[in-house]
Amino acid sequence: MDFLSSLLDANAAFALNGRDTTNHCPMALHALHEMGATPAQLQHFFAHWQSTHSLPAGTENQGDEEERRFVQLRQQLAIRFAEEGWLPTFEALLSQRLSPAGGAFHPLIRFACALENGHQGEQAAALAAWQCKPLILPAGTGAPCRDVTRLLARLSAQWEGSSWQGEWITARLRQVAADPRWPDSLPRSLEEGTEVLLQLAEAALPLYWQTRNFTLLHLVTGSRAAAIVARHLPAELQEPWQTLMWQAAAAAYITVGAPALGSQRWPDVSGLDWEKVLPLAIASLDDHVIKLVHCCWREQARSPRHGAHYLAVAARAVGLLNTDAGRSAA
Protein backbone atom coordinates (compact mmCIF):
# COMPACT_ATOMS: atom_id res chain seq x y z
CA MET A 1 0.00 0.00 0.00
CA ASP A 2 2.91 2.39 0.67
CA PHE A 3 4.09 2.07 -2.94
CA LEU A 4 0.58 2.65 -4.28
CA SER A 5 0.27 5.70 -2.03
CA SER A 6 3.51 7.15 -3.36
CA LEU A 7 2.30 6.81 -6.96
CA LEU A 8 -1.02 8.41 -6.04
CA ASP A 9 0.93 11.27 -4.47
CA ALA A 10 2.93 11.62 -7.70
CA ASN A 11 -0.26 11.86 -9.71
CA ALA A 12 -0.74 15.38 -8.29
CA ALA A 13 1.88 16.57 -10.76
CA PHE A 14 -0.46 15.88 -13.69
CA ALA A 15 -2.87 18.39 -15.18
CA LEU A 16 -6.59 17.81 -14.87
CA ASN A 17 -7.08 18.36 -18.59
CA GLY A 18 -4.26 16.11 -19.76
CA ARG A 19 -6.71 13.78 -21.49
CA ASP A 20 -8.28 13.15 -18.08
CA THR A 21 -5.00 11.81 -16.72
CA THR A 22 -5.67 12.82 -13.16
CA ASN A 23 -8.86 10.79 -13.12
CA HIS A 24 -7.89 7.72 -15.15
CA CYS A 25 -4.41 7.04 -13.84
CA PRO A 26 -5.16 6.76 -10.09
CA MET A 27 -8.25 4.64 -10.70
CA ALA A 28 -6.24 2.15 -12.75
CA LEU A 29 -3.44 2.11 -10.16
CA HIS A 30 -5.94 1.31 -7.41
CA ALA A 31 -7.48 -1.49 -9.49
CA LEU A 32 -4.08 -2.96 -10.36
CA HIS A 33 -3.02 -2.91 -6.71
CA GLU A 34 -6.17 -4.70 -5.56
CA MET A 35 -5.82 -7.35 -8.27
CA GLY A 36 -2.32 -8.16 -7.01
CA ALA A 37 0.01 -6.13 -9.20
CA THR A 38 3.59 -5.95 -7.94
CA PRO A 39 5.33 -2.63 -7.29
CA ALA A 40 7.22 -3.13 -10.56
CA GLN A 41 3.96 -3.60 -12.46
CA LEU A 42 2.43 -0.53 -10.84
CA GLN A 43 5.51 1.51 -11.74
CA HIS A 44 5.40 0.19 -15.31
CA PHE A 45 1.81 1.32 -15.76
CA PHE A 46 2.51 4.70 -14.16
CA ALA A 47 5.55 5.29 -16.38
CA HIS A 48 3.58 4.31 -19.48
CA TRP A 49 0.76 6.67 -18.56
CA GLN A 50 3.14 9.48 -17.75
CA SER A 51 4.93 9.18 -21.10
CA THR A 52 1.92 8.62 -23.36
CA HIS A 53 -1.03 10.47 -21.81
CA SER A 54 -0.15 12.99 -19.14
CA LEU A 55 0.40 16.69 -19.27
CA PRO A 56 2.45 18.29 -16.49
CA ALA A 57 0.29 20.50 -14.33
CA GLY A 58 0.63 24.17 -15.08
CA THR A 59 2.86 24.06 -18.16
CA GLU A 60 0.45 23.54 -21.04
CA ASN A 61 -2.60 24.67 -19.10
CA GLN A 62 -1.58 28.23 -18.23
CA GLY A 63 -4.58 30.47 -18.54
CA ASP A 64 -6.98 27.54 -18.29
CA GLU A 65 -9.55 28.63 -15.73
CA GLU A 66 -10.75 25.08 -15.07
CA GLU A 67 -7.20 23.91 -14.41
CA ARG A 68 -6.51 26.73 -11.96
CA ARG A 69 -9.79 26.04 -10.20
CA PHE A 70 -8.99 22.35 -9.92
CA VAL A 71 -5.60 22.99 -8.33
CA GLN A 72 -7.04 25.51 -5.89
CA LEU A 73 -9.97 23.30 -4.94
CA ARG A 74 -7.77 20.25 -4.46
CA GLN A 75 -5.50 22.18 -2.12
CA GLN A 76 -8.39 23.71 -0.20
CA LEU A 77 -10.19 20.39 0.17
CA ALA A 78 -7.04 18.61 1.30
CA ILE A 79 -6.73 21.09 4.17
CA ARG A 80 -10.43 20.85 4.98
CA PHE A 81 -10.47 17.06 4.92
CA ALA A 82 -7.53 16.92 7.31
CA GLU A 83 -9.64 18.89 9.77
CA GLU A 84 -13.15 17.51 9.28
CA GLY A 85 -13.06 14.65 6.78
CA TRP A 86 -14.78 14.54 3.40
CA LEU A 87 -18.41 14.04 4.46
CA PRO A 88 -19.42 17.71 5.08
CA THR A 89 -18.13 18.69 1.65
CA PHE A 90 -19.84 15.74 0.01
CA GLU A 91 -23.12 16.60 1.70
CA ALA A 92 -22.85 20.17 0.41
CA LEU A 93 -22.30 18.91 -3.14
CA LEU A 94 -25.33 16.65 -2.83
CA SER A 95 -27.44 19.63 -1.80
CA GLN A 96 -26.35 21.33 -5.03
CA ARG A 97 -27.60 18.25 -6.94
CA LEU A 98 -24.29 17.64 -8.71
CA SER A 99 -24.84 14.57 -10.85
CA PRO A 100 -22.62 11.51 -10.36
CA ALA A 101 -22.45 11.41 -14.16
CA GLY A 102 -20.46 14.66 -14.22
CA GLY A 103 -17.12 14.13 -15.90
CA ALA A 104 -18.46 10.91 -17.49
CA PHE A 105 -18.66 9.26 -14.02
CA HIS A 106 -14.87 9.56 -13.63
CA PRO A 107 -14.77 11.76 -10.50
CA LEU A 108 -17.29 9.40 -8.84
CA ILE A 109 -15.23 6.31 -9.63
CA ARG A 110 -12.03 8.04 -8.56
CA PHE A 111 -13.65 9.04 -5.28
CA ALA A 112 -14.83 5.48 -4.60
CA CYS A 113 -11.28 4.22 -5.19
CA ALA A 114 -9.98 6.84 -2.77
CA LEU A 115 -12.48 5.73 -0.12
CA GLU A 116 -11.30 2.15 -0.53
CA ASN A 117 -7.59 2.90 -0.34
CA GLY A 118 -7.97 5.71 2.21
CA HIS A 119 -5.82 8.22 0.31
CA GLN A 120 -6.97 11.61 1.57
CA GLY A 121 -5.28 13.53 -1.22
CA GLU A 122 -7.14 11.44 -3.78
CA GLN A 123 -10.42 12.05 -1.97
CA ALA A 124 -9.78 15.78 -2.27
CA ALA A 125 -8.70 15.53 -5.91
CA ALA A 126 -11.78 13.48 -6.85
CA LEU A 127 -14.25 15.90 -5.30
CA ALA A 128 -12.36 18.83 -6.82
CA ALA A 129 -12.61 17.20 -10.25
CA TRP A 130 -16.33 16.58 -9.67
CA GLN A 131 -16.87 20.30 -9.06
CA CYS A 132 -14.80 21.22 -12.11
CA LYS A 133 -16.89 18.93 -14.33
CA PRO A 134 -20.33 19.86 -12.95
CA LEU A 135 -23.49 18.41 -14.41
CA ILE A 136 -26.92 19.15 -12.96
CA LEU A 137 -29.80 17.13 -14.38
CA PRO A 138 -33.28 18.70 -14.14
CA ALA A 139 -35.48 16.68 -11.79
CA GLY A 140 -38.16 14.51 -13.30
CA THR A 141 -41.80 15.54 -13.39
CA GLY A 142 -43.25 12.27 -14.76
CA ALA A 143 -45.30 9.73 -12.84
CA PRO A 144 -43.41 7.74 -10.18
CA CYS A 145 -41.91 4.46 -11.30
CA ARG A 146 -41.64 1.20 -9.40
CA ASP A 147 -38.06 0.09 -10.04
CA VAL A 148 -35.01 0.42 -12.28
CA THR A 149 -36.12 -2.24 -14.75
CA ARG A 150 -39.40 -0.44 -15.37
CA LEU A 151 -37.59 2.89 -15.48
CA LEU A 152 -35.34 1.70 -18.31
CA ALA A 153 -38.25 0.09 -20.16
CA ARG A 154 -40.21 3.35 -19.96
CA LEU A 155 -37.25 5.36 -21.21
CA SER A 156 -36.65 2.88 -24.03
CA ALA A 157 -40.25 3.22 -25.16
CA GLN A 158 -39.79 6.98 -25.44
CA TRP A 159 -36.16 7.39 -26.51
CA GLU A 160 -35.04 4.21 -28.30
CA GLY A 161 -33.01 5.07 -31.38
CA SER A 162 -32.39 8.66 -30.32
CA SER A 163 -29.12 10.12 -31.55
CA TRP A 164 -26.88 12.64 -29.85
CA GLN A 165 -23.96 14.57 -31.28
CA GLY A 166 -20.48 14.80 -29.85
CA GLU A 167 -17.49 12.58 -29.20
CA TRP A 168 -17.49 12.96 -25.42
CA ILE A 169 -19.87 11.33 -22.96
CA THR A 170 -20.30 14.51 -20.94
CA ALA A 171 -21.26 16.55 -24.02
CA ARG A 172 -24.04 14.10 -24.85
CA LEU A 173 -25.24 14.10 -21.25
CA ARG A 174 -25.55 17.88 -21.37
CA GLN A 175 -27.68 17.61 -24.49
CA VAL A 176 -30.06 15.23 -22.71
CA ALA A 177 -30.22 17.56 -19.71
CA ALA A 178 -31.11 20.46 -21.98
CA ASP A 179 -33.75 18.59 -23.96
CA PRO A 180 -37.23 19.94 -23.09
CA ARG A 181 -38.62 16.39 -23.17
CA TRP A 182 -36.34 15.20 -20.38
CA PRO A 183 -38.25 16.30 -17.23
CA ASP A 184 -41.56 14.81 -18.37
CA SER A 185 -39.98 11.50 -19.39
CA LEU A 186 -38.13 11.08 -16.11
CA PRO A 187 -40.22 9.94 -13.11
CA ARG A 188 -40.42 12.10 -10.03
CA SER A 189 -39.30 9.18 -7.91
CA LEU A 190 -38.77 5.47 -7.64
CA GLU A 191 -40.74 3.46 -5.12
CA GLU A 192 -39.45 3.83 -1.57
CA GLY A 193 -37.40 0.92 -0.31
CA THR A 194 -36.18 0.02 -3.81
CA GLU A 195 -32.62 -1.34 -3.80
CA VAL A 196 -31.70 1.19 -6.44
CA LEU A 197 -27.93 0.73 -6.59
CA LEU A 198 -28.14 -3.06 -6.67
CA GLN A 199 -30.73 -2.87 -9.43
CA LEU A 200 -28.58 -0.44 -11.41
CA ALA A 201 -25.62 -2.81 -11.24
CA GLU A 202 -27.76 -5.76 -12.30
CA ALA A 203 -29.18 -3.80 -15.25
CA ALA A 204 -25.90 -2.22 -16.38
CA LEU A 205 -24.01 -5.49 -16.83
CA PRO A 206 -26.34 -7.15 -19.39
CA LEU A 207 -26.81 -3.83 -21.19
CA TYR A 208 -23.07 -3.54 -21.61
CA TRP A 209 -22.78 -7.20 -22.62
CA GLN A 210 -25.49 -6.70 -25.23
CA THR A 211 -24.20 -3.43 -26.69
CA ARG A 212 -20.48 -3.23 -25.85
CA ASN A 213 -21.13 0.49 -25.64
CA PHE A 214 -18.37 2.60 -24.12
CA THR A 215 -20.76 4.81 -22.14
CA LEU A 216 -22.43 1.73 -20.65
CA LEU A 217 -19.01 0.43 -19.62
CA HIS A 218 -18.79 3.52 -17.44
CA LEU A 219 -22.25 2.77 -16.08
CA VAL A 220 -21.03 -0.70 -15.01
CA THR A 221 -18.02 0.69 -13.15
CA GLY A 222 -19.95 3.76 -11.99
CA SER A 223 -22.71 1.66 -10.44
CA ARG A 224 -20.20 -0.19 -8.32
CA ALA A 225 -18.57 3.11 -7.32
CA ALA A 226 -21.93 4.55 -6.28
CA ALA A 227 -22.53 1.55 -4.02
CA ILE A 228 -19.12 2.00 -2.40
CA VAL A 229 -19.89 5.65 -1.68
CA ALA A 230 -23.31 4.71 -0.30
CA ARG A 231 -21.71 2.37 2.25
CA HIS A 232 -19.92 5.40 3.72
CA LEU A 233 -22.97 7.67 3.92
CA PRO A 234 -25.29 8.23 6.91
CA ALA A 235 -28.93 7.19 6.59
CA GLU A 236 -30.21 10.68 5.83
CA LEU A 237 -28.04 10.96 2.71
CA GLN A 238 -28.88 7.56 1.22
CA GLU A 239 -32.06 8.58 -0.60
CA PRO A 240 -30.66 11.81 -2.13
CA TRP A 241 -27.57 9.93 -3.31
CA GLN A 242 -29.56 7.08 -4.83
CA THR A 243 -31.88 9.54 -6.58
CA LEU A 244 -29.00 11.41 -8.17
CA MET A 245 -27.51 8.09 -9.29
CA TRP A 246 -30.59 6.63 -10.96
CA GLN A 247 -31.19 9.94 -12.69
CA ALA A 248 -27.58 9.88 -13.91
CA ALA A 249 -28.01 6.32 -15.15
CA ALA A 250 -31.21 7.29 -16.95
CA ALA A 251 -29.48 10.15 -18.75
CA ALA A 252 -26.52 7.96 -19.73
CA TYR A 253 -28.92 5.31 -21.04
CA ILE A 254 -30.67 7.87 -23.24
CA THR A 255 -27.36 9.15 -24.67
CA VAL A 256 -26.72 5.70 -26.19
CA GLY A 257 -30.17 5.52 -27.77
CA ALA A 258 -31.99 3.74 -24.91
CA PRO A 259 -31.70 0.25 -26.45
CA ALA A 260 -34.29 -2.25 -25.25
CA LEU A 261 -32.70 -4.94 -23.11
CA GLY A 262 -33.13 -8.28 -24.86
CA SER A 263 -32.77 -11.75 -23.41
CA GLN A 264 -29.07 -12.50 -23.15
CA ARG A 265 -27.17 -15.49 -24.45
CA TRP A 266 -24.41 -15.85 -21.90
CA PRO A 267 -21.53 -18.18 -22.80
CA ASP A 268 -20.34 -21.24 -20.92
CA VAL A 269 -17.43 -20.07 -18.76
CA SER A 270 -16.75 -23.40 -17.07
CA GLY A 271 -13.27 -23.51 -18.62
CA LEU A 272 -12.40 -20.03 -17.37
CA ASP A 273 -11.51 -18.67 -13.96
CA TRP A 274 -10.21 -15.50 -12.41
CA GLU A 275 -6.69 -16.93 -12.16
CA LYS A 276 -6.59 -16.75 -15.96
CA VAL A 277 -8.27 -13.38 -16.30
CA LEU A 278 -6.55 -11.24 -13.66
CA PRO A 279 -2.94 -11.64 -14.90
CA LEU A 280 -4.01 -10.52 -18.38
CA ALA A 281 -5.74 -7.47 -16.94
CA ILE A 282 -2.69 -6.61 -14.85
CA ALA A 283 -0.47 -6.88 -17.92
CA SER A 284 -2.78 -4.62 -19.90
CA LEU A 285 -1.92 -0.97 -20.33
CA ASP A 286 -5.54 -0.15 -21.18
CA ASP A 287 -7.00 1.60 -18.15
CA HIS A 288 -10.58 0.82 -19.16
CA VAL A 289 -9.84 -2.90 -19.42
CA ILE A 290 -8.10 -2.77 -16.05
CA LYS A 291 -11.00 -0.97 -14.34
CA LEU A 292 -13.69 -3.12 -15.93
CA VAL A 293 -12.03 -6.40 -14.99
CA HIS A 294 -11.40 -5.15 -11.46
CA CYS A 295 -15.05 -4.11 -11.12
CA CYS A 296 -16.30 -7.49 -12.35
CA TRP A 297 -13.89 -9.39 -10.10
CA ARG A 298 -14.99 -7.47 -7.03
CA GLU A 299 -18.70 -7.58 -7.86
CA GLN A 300 -18.87 -11.31 -8.54
CA ALA A 301 -17.90 -11.89 -4.91
CA ARG A 302 -20.79 -9.67 -3.78
CA SER A 303 -23.29 -11.09 -6.28
CA PRO A 304 -22.66 -14.85 -6.63
CA ARG A 305 -25.93 -15.26 -8.55
CA HIS A 306 -24.38 -13.30 -11.40
CA GLY A 307 -20.81 -14.47 -10.89
CA ALA A 308 -20.59 -16.28 -14.24
CA HIS A 309 -21.83 -13.17 -16.03
CA TYR A 310 -19.19 -10.97 -14.44
CA LEU A 311 -16.56 -13.55 -15.37
CA ALA A 312 -17.80 -13.57 -18.98
CA VAL A 313 -17.59 -9.77 -19.27
CA ALA A 314 -14.10 -9.73 -17.78
CA ALA A 315 -12.90 -12.64 -19.92
CA ARG A 316 -14.16 -10.93 -23.07
CA ALA A 317 -12.41 -7.71 -22.06
CA VAL A 318 -8.99 -9.45 -21.90
CA GLY A 319 -9.54 -11.46 -25.08
CA LEU A 320 -10.37 -14.89 -23.65
CA LEU A 321 -13.83 -15.01 -25.24
CA ASN A 322 -14.93 -14.65 -28.83
CA THR A 323 -15.79 -11.03 -29.53
CA ASP A 324 -19.18 -12.00 -30.95
CA ALA A 325 -20.17 -14.21 -28.01
CA GLY A 326 -22.26 -11.62 -26.26
CA ARG A 327 -24.86 -10.70 -28.85
CA SER A 328 -28.48 -10.74 -27.75
CA ALA A 329 -30.50 -13.84 -28.38
CA ALA A 330 -33.31 -13.45 -30.89
SS3 at position 230? helix
Give the residue among 214, 211, 221, 217 at the shortest CA–CA distance from 160. 211
Asked whether residue 281 is domain-assigned, the answer is: no
Q: Is residue 200 part of a domain?
A: no
- Neighbouring C-beta atoms of residue 293, cutoff 10 Å: 28
Query: At a CB cut-off of 8 Å and minimum separation 6, what does 259 contact?
Result: 156, 160, 207, 210, 211
**Residues 66 and 210 sit within 8 Å (Cβ to Cβ):** no
Report if residue 202 sits inside a domain. Answer: no
pLDDT at residue 70, as a whole number: 86
More confident residue, 35 or 330: 35
Quick check: 250 and 139 in contact, CB under 8 A? Answer: no
| pLDDT at position 67 | 78
pLDDT of residue 66: 75
> How far is C-alpha 161 from the geometric centre of its chain's CA atoms?
24
Residues 6+ apart with CB under 8 A from 185: 140, 142, 154, 155, 158, 159
Residue 307: inside a domain: no
Q: How many domains does the chain have?
A: 1
For residue 9, the surrounding DSSP H or E stretch is helix 2-10
CB 196 within 8 A of CB 204: no
Of 132, 139, 129, 136, which is closest to residue 99 (Cα–Cα)? 136
Asked if residues 292 and 313 have their Cβ atoms less than 8 Å apart, the reply is yes
The predicted pLDDT at position 59 comes to 47
Residue 142 domain-assigned (yes or no): no
Give the global pTM. 0.93
**Residue 54 DSSP one-character state:** -
pLDDT tens digit string along 254-275? Answer: 999 999 988 888 999 999 999 9
Asked, for residue 260, whether it belongs to a domain, the answer is no
Phi, psi of 304 (to 5 degrees): -55, -30
pLDDT tens, position by position, 1-55: 789 999 999 988 887 765 556 788 999 999 999 999 999 999 999 999 888 877 7
pLDDT value, residue 167: 82
Percentage of the chain beyond pLDDT 70 is: 93
Tell me the residue range of the domain where 122 lies: 2-132
pLDDT at 39: 97
- Is residue 22, in this structure, part of any structural domain at all? yes
- Residue 315 inside a domain? The answer is no
Mean pLDDT computed over 152-172: 92
